[in-house]
Amino acid sequence: TYSAFKQPSPLSVVLFFPETALENVKIQQAVGSNTVGLIQASELTEQGHTTKILISLKKDVPYVVNRENGGLRVSFQKAPIISSDILKQEAKTKKPVILTEKKTDAEKITVGPMLQSVDTTLFEKGIKITVMADGNIRNYKSFTIENPPRIVLDMFDVKSRHKKEQIVPVDTKWVRNIRYYGYPDKVRLVIDTQKAYLLSFEVNPAEKGLTIHVGEDTNAVSKLEKKQERAPQGKIKESAWVNRVDFLSEEAGKSTVIIGTTAPVKYDIKKSSPKRLTLTLFNTKLPDYRRRPLITTRFESAVDRITPVQTPGKTDISMITMELREPVPYMVEQSENLIQVHFEASSIPPRPLAAAKLSPWEAVVSQTAAETEVKEVQQTTAKEKFPVKKAGRYTGEKIALNFYETDIKNVLRIIREISGENIAIDKNVTGKVTLAFDKPVPWDQVLDLILKMNKLGMVYEGNIIRIATLKTISDENKRMRDKFKEEPLRTAYILVNYADAQKDILPLLKVKEEGEVREGVSLSVDTRTNQIIITDVQSRIDRAREIVKNVDRVTPQVIIEAKIVEANTNFSRSLGID
């Protein structure tokens, strides 16, 4: 299987091959063509093996992908070249040139915007449906069906990443469900409504997509929406989208990370650790298909991995993490919709991913929250005690919901769309949800309430929220504790060279999770030799070594020299002449 799409900046065609690895393939290959410039291959290995092929284009031309002899052929249209003799002959005969007879299959392919999401906003007298795309949608047609009552919107030349029909449950008196699915030449969006509102809808083009208003007074809904946008407290402009995450290998080992957005954004960059930079993009959203790490360990560069992340709980803040082989000078440059981070060369040569030893918690020293172990955030039960969020501690986007006997999986899907989080649901999660919130409440508070009502819990596994029954989570915790108790203990002596083992290192290693204390485990310091003596399982010993490695470093010192020269007003020089 594969997926292919064209991106405008940089102009190129990108192909993704899931569960496919690179072997004996040139990473870069130049093509002597008027249409194709450079072909680049890279492998994304954060979640399995995915191969990315980027074909840089010199001209914006249609393309078509065909299967051929166990592989793929990507064909690009060539611009027709008409000689002067032919033009003269045509001028004499005065016969029109029928270009449609010479068109190839590649010419018939129209590459349009990609549908990204379908969101809803409730108003007092109606509902607003926002169709988000990565470009403008100008060619569309709407019509209605009376039995059953439906509003149908055809968006021509628009593509969808989904192969099957997508359903967005709404459950309001104006709209029950929203369904959309892709055809080769369009995307059709169907709004299940009532007969009373078949003539009470309005479709308007937006900067990146379309807006559809359905309700008792569509004009009033539109005016209310515009009034809210003009209000002083609503001055925050529409969120930008990340549309480009690229790596550019330059001469002499230098490199550049390029981040493109649909509009200029504010940013902040800081060092999370000596070998990790975090670029924060404010009022910026990250599409799902952009949330893939970019591995660059085999390039002549100081950068090992680039990881785009959508901040949990804040769907309008995106972060780009850049992990380095060693600390090197860098410079940030912003030009319109592009942010470029330029890195100097590294003294460490390219190497395989395994040799790079990258890990999510590599640069995190003082926070145990970044460890690779599974972290649990469960609801309070009668047998287990977990901290409960207090009122005012919820930070998610506020939403208004109204559900009656709605399947819990559909409700969780709506929360996933609003929050931007990755949510995985166990197959044994079942139940119905009935609730009505006229006043908007944070989505994370709604999620907590729904889990409590159905005796469910959630577990953070990396950047994924897993929803399961409390019994399933409890059984897994018990198995993990039993496995921990059966693992053999080992003793290690970790020498600390520069830091104070007692004051600086020991407090960082003493943090232990409740319920994981085991007989025979110990942690102490030999003050004579400044050593850490640890008896524990191998995984914890390895983690302790990593912490010491990152903390135990020479403190930089600066020598300042100054020469003070004093000159008086009566100063004179002796020349040695009588």
Range of the domain at 267: 240-370
Q: Are residues 172 and 207 in the same domain?
A: yes
- CA of 274: how far to CAs of 299, 396, 553, in Å? 20, 31, 11
Q: Are residues 204 and 258 in the same domain?
A: no
Q: Are residues 68 and 121 in the same domain?
A: no
Q: Are residues 10 and 131 in the same domain?
A: no
Q: What is the pTM of this model?
A: 0.28
Q: CB-hemisphere CA count at 13 Å for 122? A: 18
Supply the angle between the helices 408-419 and 443-453 in degrees, to the nearest 10: 160
Residues in Cβ contact with 309 at an 8 Å cutoff, skipping those fewer than 6 apart: 286, 291, 318, 319, 320, 321, 463
What is the model's pLDDT at position 493?
92
Q: CB-hemisphere CA count at 13 Å for 47? A: 10
Domain count of the chain? 5
Q: Are 242 and 267 in contact (CB under 8 A)?
A: no
Q: CATH code at 415?
A: 3.55.50.30
Q: Which residue has the tokens 């830091």?
A: 499
Strands 422-425 and 464-469: parallel
Q: Are residues 245 and 360 in the same domain?
A: yes
Residue 381 lies in a domain: yes
Digit-coded pLDDT (tens) for 107-130: 344 467 888 888 887 777 788 888
Residue 66 lies in a domain: yes
Closest to 245 in 3D by CA, of 158, 307, 181:
307
| Final residue of a structural domain among 415, 445, 479 | 479
Rounded-to-integer distance, Cα 528 and Cα 491, Å: 19
What is the model's pLDDT at position 384?
37
What is the model's pLDDT at position 473?
87
Q: Are 193 and 150 in contact (CB under 8 A)?
A: yes
Q: Which residue has the tokens 């470093």?
A: 553
Rounded-to-integer distance, Cα 145 and Cα 151, Å: 7
- List average pLDDT for each run of 10 residues in the chain, which is 578 residues long: 67 78 74 82 72 83 77 74 47 42 40 80 80 83 82 86 79 85 85 86 82 71 44 53 83 86 86 83 82 79 85 74 85 84 86 62 33 33 38 69 81 82 87 81 86 87 85 85 79 89 82 56 88 87 86 73 70 56
Name the CA radius of gyration of the chain, rounded: 30
Total residue count of the chain as it appears in this document: 578
Residue 163 lies in a domain: yes
| Final residue of a structural domain among 479, 503, 532 | 479
